[in-house]
Amino acid sequence: MYKINCRGLNCICSRCMLYFISMTAPETIRLLFVDDDTGYMAVAQQILAQFGLRRFSVTWKQDGPSALDFLSGSPEIDLIIIDYYLPEMNGLELARAIREKVVDVPMMFLTSNRDFRLAIEGMKYGVEDYMVKDDAVDSVLPRTIIGIMERARLKRDRAEHRRAERIAARQEEAVKELVVTVCHEFNNPLAAIKISTDILLRQALPPEQREKVEQIDRRISQLESEVTRLRDINFEKFDFGRIP
């Protein structure tokens, strides 16, 4: 098991950063490998099995149609690793087909081709990373997988934050509209009653009637004051479910 032996929790060396990132990844990372190279698959599975920080559960498919058929069952998969050169359909075509099925799982290209234009094309369909098989040796492959998982988690967190902000903004706007409506509905009749009491108080009323009209006038003034307080609420004090 890997042990931190550098500068404690504040260390930012690559080994310690990998350790901390791996702690946020699932205990077992579920992979779908789509590759018709049986020799490389044997090597890859051995590399993953020997990695100490995380366990990897690997499902292996040798072509695009069988991978799509597997994904149609909505399996629990954390990452899809795709070779570019596949029978029946290439890696880009498979990535596009996966996204068209609205499968929200991060993808990675792992191929023998060093044409990095493939990586750029793959990004159009949500491919997170690109790695040449010759470079995926020792701990490079599992470390890359863990890094992709962390980036995907951060993207989900940001997306959730943006969604919460949009919901909070809609809730705030709805409350503001409600407050404006309530204030308007109260102000009109209160103003009419206030005018009536002012007219009555200018008349020569018996003391008992004047007292009652003055009481009504005072209560109307109190209600107007409460409506004004409601209208002047500072909505910035309310979080409306926003994520800090």
Q: Measuring CA to CA, which residue among 15, 35, 46, 39 is closest to residue 146?
A: 15
Most confident of 13-27, 72-86, 222-236: 72-86
Query: Distance between CA atoms of 110 and 88, rounded to whole angstroms?
Result: 18
Specify the higher pLDDT residue, 114 or 55.
55
pLDDT in tens, 195-229: 888 888 888 888 888 899 889 889 988 888 888 88
Confidence of residue 80 (pLDDT cuts 50, 70, 90): very high
Structure confidence by residue, pLDDT tens digits, 58-69: 999 999 999 999
- The CA-based angle 126-134-2, given to 5 degrees, is 80
> What pLDDT is attached to residue 237?
66
- Reduced to 3 states, what is the DSSP secondary structure of residue 163? helix
Element (H, E) at 45: helix 38-50
Judge contact between 199 and 233, C-beta under 8 A. no
Least Cα distance to 84 among 137, 143, 125 occurs for 125
* Domains with residue ranges and CATH for the chain: 25-138 (3.40.50.2300), 167-237 (1.10.287)
